[in-house]
Amino acid sequence: MGIMSLIAWLFGADAPAPPDATKLDGTTEATLARSLSALPPAERGWITFAEARILFSAKGTPYAFGESDQDGRRSIELFAAQHWSVINFMPVEERVYFVRDPTALNTARATA
């Protein structure tokens, strides 16, 4: 085994890339809730920032879920917790990720 093969093997260069997260239906809160309920535990799904803004924020595009949009953040976080999920904002990708987490509802209650 050559040195390059050894390095590739050690760092998993031959390992397949993980599949992309599932695109969730962010048309309405009801369709998003159905999409989340179909997501297996610990799996990721996403909606676009534009969909999230329309559903959960009253702020314009550059301000949605930012420092001045506490209501929007609270709204989407509460929605996620009610559907046993946690969220991750990824502005560079223009996506909001939801991860199914069976402890999410208890975490939301503890911080409310």
Longest CA–CA separation in the chain, Å: 59
- In terms of Cβ atoms closer than 10 Å to its own Cβ (0-12, 13-18, 19+), residue 56 is buried
Q: What is the DSSP annotation of 17-79?
A: PPPPPEEP--SSHHHHHHHHHHSPTT-EEEEEHHHHHHHH--S-TTTTTSTT-HHHHHHHHHH
Would you call 86 helix, strand, or coil by DSSP?
strand
Q: Which residues pair with 45 in a beta bridge?
A: 22, 98
pTM of the model: 0.75
- Give the model confidence (pLDDT) of 14-59 as tens digits: 555 456 899 999 999 999 999 999 999 889 999 999 999 999 999 9
Q: How high is the pLDDT of residue 87?
A: 94
73-90 pLDDT, tens digit each: 999 999 999 999 999 999
pLDDT at position 101: 87
* Tokens, residue 45: 């799904």
Average pLDDT over residues 63-72: 93
The pLDDT value given to residue 102: 77
Residue 104 CA to residue 106 CA, distance in Å, equals 6
